[in-house]
């Protein structure tokens, strides 16, 4: 239930918003009164809301006239004739586009890769193998299609990946070059088998090691969003964000392979938080295993990595004031039901004695760490972050900008976030809300 329980009339409520008298009419602002924000929400009905000019018709009487006395169920034993081109006609859609745009030469390798990758997630296994291949999916090479490998400048290549990945459902696309330093972010081994950098032509998993070719010099980092309303008030913990993330991952692997480039699956051989911070998609934050975005808060459920030999322009880390904000905020840690998140200051070591004794964390950085021994990957730290607040967009954009340049207000903003009841909401109310199409509230869909 809401914490606000003062009795307010509609007129007083609208006056508080500065809207009273704005052509709404006295009748619309009069009683009934509501006692709290829950009363406002409960006044909503399941009836579809239409604009004022839409007329409601009688049941079974749409604008198309139907004679129900002769209308019959369709017999599916009747076969539709298969579609075919007329003799000598060919694919007129390409000719049509060429008539409109004389410089159009037909579908390019990028076009075909994009179109076919769009359905790749329904063809193969959920998780690509180490070399990026997927069971049940034959990723075509440019040569197999009598086409030339796509090649562009590093900037053009990044733009190509960003356009395609966002079409597939990714929210951010960025790049980290594998240097002597950043190679250290790739795990040393998987059990007894090491990950080895070698002068090899292709990635390979042998009986003794995983081989990463030295020429695969770039890590493509892309993120996918959590289901926003579900994360905040789902009837149960949600894995829908991972479902979407897996679909995007399959499409991305297919696309890179179809363009003629190697695409090593690096999601299970590196830490997502590290590449998020280095690529500029997000900042390391108190929610240590997530990374926080100034655009999407903690709603990045998927943060994936793929190693490729495509020449790409590296992207820069950012400082949007998030790490500084986290020093004061602590909202996600305070509301962690498993008490596995850091409440202290940044440190080179783990705050939890048990985790420290086993060295069960990535060393070498001064920051916040989650106790992954007890973390159950629930959605609460995703839902609680003040940077999540996509509604009241103007206000929150002001808060974001102020936090980035004037951290003295960070404590005040964090307190206001809690006081206004943002974060996790009552699951019972989810079924009564206007659920957005798919997974995301429109305000979260940002360029």
pLDDT tens profile 169-204: 999 999 999 999 999 999 999 988 999 999 999 999
* pLDDT given for residue 281 in this prediction: 92
Residues 257 and 326 in one domain: no
Local confidence band at 63 (pLDDT 50, 70, 90 cut-offs) = confident
**What's the chain's average pLDDT?**
79
Each residue's pLDDT tens digit, 8-33: 444 554 444 444 444 444 444 444 44
* The two structure tokens encoding residue 154: 């590093």
When pLDDT is averaged across residues 354-365 and rounded to a whole number, the result is: 86
Residues 237 and 381 in one domain: no
Residues 303 and 281 in one domain: yes
Closest-CA residue to 327 (of 278, 383, 275, 366): 366
When pLDDT is averaged across residues 341-370 and rounded to a whole number, the result is: 90
Residues 149 and 219 in one domain: yes
Q: What predicted TM-score, i.e. pTM, was given to this entire model?
A: 0.77
Give the chain's domain count: 3
Considering the chain, what percentage of its residues have pLDDT values greater than 90?
Answer: 37
When pLDDT is averaged across residues 335-364 and rounded to a whole number, the result is: 89
Residues 151 and 264 in one domain: yes
Residues 122 and 209 in one domain: yes
Each residue's pLDDT tens digit, 123-170: 555 679 999 998 888 899 999 999 999 999 999 999 999 999 999 999
* pLDDT given for residue 41 in this prediction: 46
Closest-CA residue to 229 (of 25, 429, 14, 68): 429
Which one of 308, 343, 371 terminates a domain?
Answer: 308
* pLDDT given for residue 19 in this prediction: 45
Which one of 308, 330, 348 terminates a domain?
Answer: 308
Residues 280 and 329 in one domain: no
Closest-CA residue to 425 (of 383, 377, 378, 375): 383
Distance CA 158, CA 113 (A): 16
Q: Higher model confidence: residue 410 or residue 296?
A: 296
When pLDDT is averaged across residues 295-322 and rounded to a whole number, the result is: 92
Distance CA 228, CA 234 (A): 9
Q: Tell whether 194 is covered by a domain.
A: yes
With b meaning 16 or more CB within 10 Å and e meaning fewer, what string describes 325-335?
bbebbbbbbee
Question: Cβ(197)–Cβ(189) under 8 Å?
Answer: no
pLDDT at 276 exceeding the cut of 90: yes
Place of tokens 């004679």: 67
Each residue's pLDDT tens digit, 395-437: 345 445 555 455 544 454 455 545 545 556 666 666 666 666 5
pLDDT at 310 exceeding the cut of 70: yes
* pLDDT given for residue 39 in this prediction: 52
Who's near 23: CB < 8 A, 6+ residues apart? none
User: Angle at the Cα of 134 (from 132 to 137), degrees rounded to 5?
Assistant: 125
Each residue's pLDDT tens digit, 82-119: 666 666 666 777 887 888 888 888 889 999 898 889 87
With b meaning 16 or more CB within 10 Å and e meaning fewer, what string describes 143-182?
eeeebeebeeeeeebbebbbebbeebbbbbbbbbbbeeeb
Residues 298 and 334 in one domain: no
Each residue's pLDDT tens digit, 204-251: 999 999 999 999 999 999 999 887 776 676 655 567 778 888 889 999
Local confidence band at 299 (pLDDT 50, 70, 90 cut-offs) = confident
Distance CA 13, CA 82 (A): 62
Q: Tell whether 291 is covered by a domain.
A: yes
Q: Tell whether 335 is covered by a domain.
A: yes
Local confidence band at 73 (pLDDT 50, 70, 90 cut-offs) = confident
> Cβ atoms within 10 A of the Cβ of 107, count?
15
Question: Cβ(220)–Cβ(237) under 8 Å?
Answer: no
* pLDDT given for residue 366 in this prediction: 92
Residues 123 and 226 in one domain: yes
Q: Tell whether 387 is covered by a domain.
A: yes
Q: Tell whether 44 is covered by a domain.
A: no
User: β-strand 300-308 against 263-265: which pairing, if any?
Assistant: antiparallel
pLDDT at 47 exceeding the cut of 80: no
Residues 328 and 415 in one domain: yes
Q: Tell whether 160 is covered by a domain.
A: yes
Distance CA 345, CA 351 (A): 9
Q: Higher model confidence: residue 35 or residue 103?
A: 103
Residues 271 and 352 in one domain: no
Range of the domain at 401: 322-444
Which one of 244, 279, 308 terminates a domain?
Answer: 308
Q: Tell whether 201 is covered by a domain.
A: yes
Residues 381 and 428 in one domain: yes
Q: Tell whether 57 is covered by a domain.
A: no
């Amino acid at each position: 239930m809401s914490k606000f329980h003062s009795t307010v009339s509609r007129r007083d409520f609208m006056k508080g918003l500065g809207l009273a008298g704005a052509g709404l009419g006295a009748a619309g602002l009069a009683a009934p009164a509501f006692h709290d924000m829950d009363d406002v929400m409960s006044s909503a009905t399941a009836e579809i809301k239409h604009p004022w000019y839409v007329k409601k018709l009688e049941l079974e009487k749409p604008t198309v006239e139907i004679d129900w006395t002769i209308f019959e169920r369709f017999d599916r034993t009747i076969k539709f004739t298969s579609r075919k081109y007329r003799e000598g006609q060919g694919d007129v859609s390409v000719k049509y586009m060429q008539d409109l745009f004389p410089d159009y030469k037909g579908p390019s390798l990028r076009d075909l890769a994009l179109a076919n990758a769009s359905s790749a997630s329904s063809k193969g296994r959920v998780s690509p193998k180490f070399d990026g291949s997927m069971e049940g999916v034959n990723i075509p090479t440019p040569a197999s299609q009598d086409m030339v490998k796509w090649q562009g400048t590093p900037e053009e290549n990044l733009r190509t990946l960003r356009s395609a990945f966002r079409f597939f459902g990714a929210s951010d696309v960025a790049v980290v070059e594998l240097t002597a330093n950043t190679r250290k972010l790739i795990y040393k081994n998987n059990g007894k088998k090491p990950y080895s950098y070698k002068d090899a032509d292709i990635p390979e998993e042998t009986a003794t090691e995983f081989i990463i070719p030295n020429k695969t010099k770039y890590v493509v980092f892309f993120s996918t969003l959590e289901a926003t309303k579900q994360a905040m008030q789902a009837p149960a913990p949600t894995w829908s964000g991972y479902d979407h993330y897996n679909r995007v991952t399959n499409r991305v692997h297919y696309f890179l392979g179809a363009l003629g480039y190697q695409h090593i699956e690096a999601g299970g051989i590196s830490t997502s938080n590290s590449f998020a911070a280095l690529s500029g998609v997000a900042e390391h934050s108190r929610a240590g295993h997530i990374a926080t975005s100034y655009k999407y808060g903690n709603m990045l459920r998927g943060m994936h990595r793929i190693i490729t030999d495509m020449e790409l322009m590296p992207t820069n880390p950012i400082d949007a004031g998030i790490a500084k904000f986290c020093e004061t905020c602590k909202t996600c840690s305070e509301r962690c039901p498993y008490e596995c998140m850091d409440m202290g200051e940044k440190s080179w070591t783990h705050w939890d004695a048990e985790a420290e004794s086993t060295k069960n964390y990535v060393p070498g950085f001064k920051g916040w760490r989650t106790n992954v021994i007890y973390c159950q990957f629930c959605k609460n730290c995703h839902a609680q972050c003040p940077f999540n607040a996509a509604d009241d967009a103007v206000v929150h954009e002001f808060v974001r900008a102020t936090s980035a340049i004037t951290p003295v207000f960070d404590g005040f903003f964090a307190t206001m976030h809690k006081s206004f009841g943002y974060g996790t909401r009552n699951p019972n109310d989810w079924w009564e809300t206007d659920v957005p199409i798919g997974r995301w509230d429109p305000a979260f869909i940002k360029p």
